[in-house]
Amino acid sequence: MSKKSNIVILGPTATGKTKLAAQVANRVNGEVISADSRQVYRGMSLGTGKDLIDYHVDGKVIKSHLIDIAEAGSQYSIYNYLHDFAIAANEIQSKKKTIVVCGGSGMYLEAALGLYHFAEAPVDEQFRLEAEQLTDEELFHMLAALRPLHNSTDTSDRSRLIRAIEVARAGLSVNQTYGISNPGLVSLENSLIFGIDLPREEIRRRITERLEQRLKEGMLNEVISLLNKGIKPEGLTYYGLEYKYMTLHLTGKLSYDEMFTLLNTAIHQFAKRQMTWFRRMEKKGIPIHWLNGKLSPEDNAGLILRLFNNL
């Protein structure tokens, strides 16, 4: 096996990815590139789970990239991400440092690994079968992650929405066999990929505890601030589950208890979908080394370093 030059850390929400990535970057003289579709937005820290304190290791701050780079209210797509990722990766490499990619957004992780290429837009029968299991809202957010939503006719009915996703996915079409396509600074060939594994019940417990803590820390105030800046309530739903349900509460459509219960359940379901995505990555040929999430970040960082240095 050839020597790996980059490290990728993935996992569902609330599993401690950021803390682990910072520990690893500290030990390999590296910098972290976020692979998260929402942490790019400024002024949206609690709702997107930036956990910036986790970048503080041994009295210093580990440098991170692609966090707080877009204005709240804008639409940042995977096209933007590919452009900005390349700039960040080149900057880190120019300093002779190790690139540590960290995130839970499957599409952004695949983009970081160089698995998308430009193609035409034929009908994708496999995707259409998968789309049957998704709600209109989930399809809407999938399209929004792929490109800015300039054309409202794309989302006016389900068939148009599915076709718009096909076209957008083809523009950044994933190689279905996960063969290497145009290996860059970060690719399957030169990256060692780790996933944080926890029992589902433990993830659920952590999600609920984290949601309670972030609400205590003022997550609702964060949403109020965004609304006061002129972002429309319907626009905030673009930015994910937390913003959707908190906005529904703040606009009087849900009580606080209803908001908490529905949001908590929705995040549990989201974490399950993340794991489904990662397992699908494995089935298509991406090797993921799974770590015991119950171990401390320091212990798991040690395991990563031993494997990284021995390959």
Q: Which of 85-99, 106-120, 188-202, 282-296 comes out lowest in average pLDDT?
A: 106-120
* Contact of 203 with 15, CB cutoff 8 Å: yes
Give 25-67 pLDDT, tens digit per residue: 999 999 999 999 899 999 898 888 888 999 999 999 999 999 9
Domain 6-118+172-177+185-310 annotated CATH 3.40.718.10: no
Residue 201 clears pLDDT 90, i.e. is over it: yes
- Integer Cα distance of 7 and 263 in angstroms: 32
pLDDT at 117: 55
Beta strand pairing call for 60-61 and 173-174: unpaired
Global pTM value: 0.81
Mean pLDDT value of segment 266-291: 94
Give 244-255 pLDDT, tens digit per residue: 999 999 999 999
pLDDT at 185: 81
Measuring CA to CA, how many Å separate 154 from each of 109, 164, 174, 272? 26, 6, 22, 28
pLDDT at 172: 60
Mean pLDDT value of segment 221-236: 92
How do the domains of the chain map onto residue ranges?
6-118+172-177+185-310, 119-171
Q: State the chain's mean pLDDT as an integer.
A: 88
Give 82-119 pLDDT, tens digit per residue: 889 999 999 999 999 999 999 999 989 998 998 875 45
pLDDT at 191: 96
pLDDT at 179: 42
Confidence of residue 181 (pLDDT cuts 50, 70, 90): very low
